[in-house]
Amino acid sequence: MPAPLAVPVPFLLHLPGSTVEDVAIFCVAVLVAVTVSAESQGLAATLLGDRQPGGGTRFQFNAFLHLDPIGTLCFFVAGFGWAKEVKINVANFRHPRVYLMLSRLAGPLGNFMMASIAASIYALLTNFGFEDKAFSSVVVVNLMMAVYGCICIYPLPGSSIVGAIFHGGEGFAKTVRYFCLVSPFLLLAWFIVARLLDRDVIGAVLHPIVRSIAHFLATGM
């Protein structure tokens, strides 16, 4: 039976304390998670009708082009983050608000699928006696991104749920635009303070969920 994953939930770097190997595998896991999230959203938007000539700027498979500065910092602070916003033209959708929500939520779904694939490879390697840390980190980082990504706060994909349910006038839209400008910084600040004080209220709720899913994917139990 496969052993539990070789990295904790959340997988956080501690300087000093983390080895060069820890930093390397964490960065690779982040690049994988960000790419999967962005490409999944782009693919879903394309399938739902928002096609761009030649794929546009969506299907680059270059992780560095999908990195969002604040979202990347959040990975190092809280163990999760977000990709650069995928450009979607809702005018091409038959049902704009619903299809936009489905396109955005394809990001967390893609991360969950990536975690499942990595967990299968991890289980295979451990069955043959190999000690693994790389695929364990891919599992954890992708699951963190998938679970946190469902929170209904911009710029997380789950914020599209609010847009699909609520629809106000120009005043409402203006308020949303202002909030979208500051919310990435508010999220990062929240998790910086939470880590400094070692009192992560959100993590206390979501980390057990991530641990349970990770354990199930890795061991089948």
pLDDT tens string 126-181: 888 887 899 999 999 999 999 999 999 999 999 998 877 877 667 767 877 888 89
* 5 part of a folded domain: no
* 122 part of a folded domain: yes
* 57 part of a folded domain: yes
Token representation of residue 77 = 């602070």
* Structure letter (DSSP) for residue 5: P
The range of the structural domain enclosing residue 185 comes to: 20-219
* 12 part of a folded domain: no
* 9 part of a folded domain: no
- What is the Cα–Cα distance from 170 to 187, expressed in whole angstroms? 25
- What is the Cα–Cα distance from 141 to 153, expressed in whole angstroms? 19
Mean pLDDT of 66-89: 94
pTM of the model: 0.92
Whether 221 has a pLDDT exceeding 70, the answer reads: no
Whether 1 has a pLDDT exceeding 50, the answer reads: no
Residue that is written with structure tokens 């959100």 in the block: 202
Name the domain count of the chain: 1
* 159 part of a folded domain: yes
3-state secondary structure of 186: helix
Token representation of residue 146 = 């998938």
- What is the Cα–Cα distance from 24 to 3, expressed in whole angstroms? 22
Percent of the chain with pLDDT over 90: 71
- What is the Cα–Cα distance from 99 to 97, expressed in whole angstroms? 6
